[in-house]
Each structure stands twice: as C-alpha cells, then as structure tokens.
Amino acid sequence: MRSSLIVASLFILMFAFGCGKQDAGPVVIPTSAGRGDSGRAILSVIPRHNGMNVDTATVYIKYNALNAPVNGYDDSMVCTLNAGNPLAKFDSLRNGNYYLYCTGHIIDTTGGLNKYVPLSGGTGYTVITQSTTPVTILLPVNQ
C-alpha cells in the first residue's frame, strides 16, 4: 500500500512538472560576471518599435559585452506593464558594458486583420555611474 502511494505520488509529480512548453528564445547561461551585491546601477529597459510598445517582450542581458554574444545570455526578464509601457528592470549592476537583446511582437491591424508580427533587436550600453536612479533605455526592435 505504501509503495503504491509513493509510485502514484511520483507519477503525479512527473506529470505536473515534467511537461511544459519550451522557450524558443535565446539561451540564458547564468553568471555573476559584471553584477553583484556591490553594484547599484539600475537599467529600466522599454522595448519599442517605431514608437509602439512591443507586446509580450522578453529582454536578455549579456554582461561585459557591447555586441551580441555567440554563447548565450547571462540573464533575462519578461517585461511587465509599468505606466502603460512594457518594462524589464535589471538592478545591482556594476560599471561596465552590457548587451541588451529583446524578442517580442506587435499586433498589426492593417487591413482590419489582427496579425502578430515577431520582432527582435539589441544594443550595447555602458554603465558609467552607480546612481540608484534607474537609467531608462528605449530598446529599438525590428522585424
């Protein structure tokens, strides 16, 4: 009886946590390089396309880089709405170089159709001061 309960519990756990949609975004390889408890800088990233908000955006960050990496990103964040803008906030950053990359989409209503248009784009940024006032970056993304 007890072993049946354990087997049933394991089966339920495997079913509940074993299946899920895989993220098709860039690879994220966690690291502490370029950030840590000693950093105080904050980057507030707002993805934009031709002055429009980018829906369901995810922003990726690579520490110690100004160009797109070949070996993945160090961290990522799904944007949340803040004052009507999609926002990803990265804090505890030290002075240095960061590459920011975004994937997301907009809804194109041209011709009366609601069509999802995938977008992506990135830019390098250098943190030069340890102010606790967030620096806002309007991250341009394109088709």
Contact 101, 68 (CB under 8 A): yes
pTM exceeding the 0.85 threshold for the entire prediction? no
Residue 88 belongs to what domain range?
26-140
With bands split at pLDDT 50, 70 and 90, how would you rate the model's confidence at 137?
A: very high
CATH label of the domain that carries residue 35? 2.60.40.10
Mean pLDDT, rounded, of the chain:
81
Predicted local distance difference test score (pLDDT) of residue 24: 55
Question: Region 115-123: what's the mean pLDDT?
Answer: 93
Question: Region 86-104: what's the mean pLDDT?
Answer: 95
The residues, any chain, with a CB within 8 Å of residue 94's CB and separated by 6 or more, are: 34, 35, 36, 38, 39, 41, 127, 130
Nearest of 142, 112, 117, 135 to residue 50 by alpha carbon: 142
Q: Quick check: is 9 in a domain?
A: no
Q: Quick check: is 131 in a domain?
A: yes
